[in-house]
Structure 1
Amino acid sequence: MLDWLLQNSWAFWLALMLVFVAIEMLSLDLWFAMLSGGALGSVVAALLDAPFWLQVLVFGLVSLALIVGLRPVALRHLKRANSNALTNVDRLIGAAALVLEPTSRLAGTAKIDGETWSARSEDQGPLAPGTHAVVLRIEGATAYLSANVKNY
C-alpha cells in the first residue's frame, strides 16, 4: 500500500485537495481553499516525479504563501463587496410604490419594484389608486406605505 501511495502520490494529493474543497464549501473561511491550493501544487510536483518529501515541502510552502499573501486580500474584497449590499426586502425600504387598489390600514395592493404586494397605508386616510407612495417598512408579505414623504 505504501509503495502504491509513493508511486501514485498525485492521487493522494488530488484526493486531499478535493477533501479541502469540500470542507471549504462548508466553512467559507478561505483557510481550506488555501490548503487545497497547496495540495494542487503538490499534485503538480508529483506529476513531475518529485520525491515525496519535496511534495510535502511544496504543499507547506504554497499553502503558507496563499494563507499569508492571498487570503487577507480575498477577505478584504469579500467584506467590501458584501458590506453595502442590501438583500431581500431590505432593498425595498424607501422604494417608490404605485397604489393599485384603494389602500387603507386594513387592505390594499401596490406595485413595488415591478411586483404586486399587499399593502397597508401608514397615512391617516386611505391611498387612492394611482397614488405614488414610499415603502416605510415591510412585515411578512405586506408593505406599509406613506404618500406623505415627511413621515419617512
Structure 2
Amino acid sequence: MDSWLWWLIAAVGLGIPLVVTAMPEFGMFAVGAVAAAVVAGVGGGITAQVLVFVVVSVALIAVVRPIANRNAKQRPELRSGVDALKGRQALVLERVDENGGRIKLNGEIWSARSLDTGQVFEPGQKVDVAEIQGATAVVI
C-alpha cells in the first residue's frame, strides 16, 4: 500500500476521537496527516512526510488553540429570570409612586413602585425597570 493511503487512514483514525471526545486537537492532527498524505502523493520521502505532519499539526495547535481559548472566555452574558427584566421598558397601567402601582412588563402585569420617593408615574407613561424586588418592579 502507498504511504499516502496510510496517512489518509491515520487522518480518519484521528478524526474519530475528534468526534467522540470533541477535542479539537485531534482534528488538527488529522489535518496534519492529510498534509502529509499530499506530500506522499507528490513523491515526498518519509522524512518530508513526517516533517510536514509535525509542522502543520504544531502550527495549527499554536495558532488555533489560543484563538479558541480567547473566544471561549468572551462568551456573551446570558441573563434569565428576573435579571433579564432589569433595564427593560414597561408601560404604567395604574399610577406608580413610592407606595405602589401597576405596570405592564414583558406582556405581564407587575406590581411596581418608584425608586425615588417623590417621583410619580401616571398611566400611559413609559418607565424603565431598575431592579426587581420579590414580585415588585422598582422603576425609574
Query: What is the TM-score when the length of structure 1 is the normalising length?
Result: 0.54
Tell me the amino acid that sits aligned with residue 128 of structure 2: A
Please give the secondary structure, in 1, of the residue aligned with 2:110.
strand
Match of 2:87 in 1: 95
Tell me the amino acid that sits aligned with residue 42 of structure 1: A
How do 1:68-147 residues align onto structure 2 when only pairs under 5 Å count?
68-76=62-70, 78-79=71-72, 81-82=74-75, 85-89=76-80, 92-99=84-91, 109-110=104-105, 116-123=106-113, 128-134=123-129, 136-137=131-132, 145-147=137-139
More strand by share: 2
How do 1:16-95 residues align onto structure 2 when only pairs under 5 Å count?
16=13, 18-19=15-16, 21-23=18-20, 26-27=22-23, 30-52=24-46, 54-76=48-70, 78-79=71-72, 81-82=74-75, 85-89=76-80, 92-95=84-87
Structure 2 unpaired stretches of 5+: 115-121
Percentage of matched positions with identical amino acids? 18
1:2-24 deviation line (CA, Å, top 9, x unaligned)? x3x63623531441353354256
RMSD of aligned residue pairs (Cα, Å): 4.2
1:53-79 deviation line (CA, Å, top 9, x unaligned)? 543332223212322344224423x14
Question: Alignment length, in residue pairs?
Answer: 130
Query: What is the TM-score when the length of structure 2 is the normalising length?
Result: 0.57
C-alpha change, 1:7 and 1:73, in structure 2 (3 Å) is closer
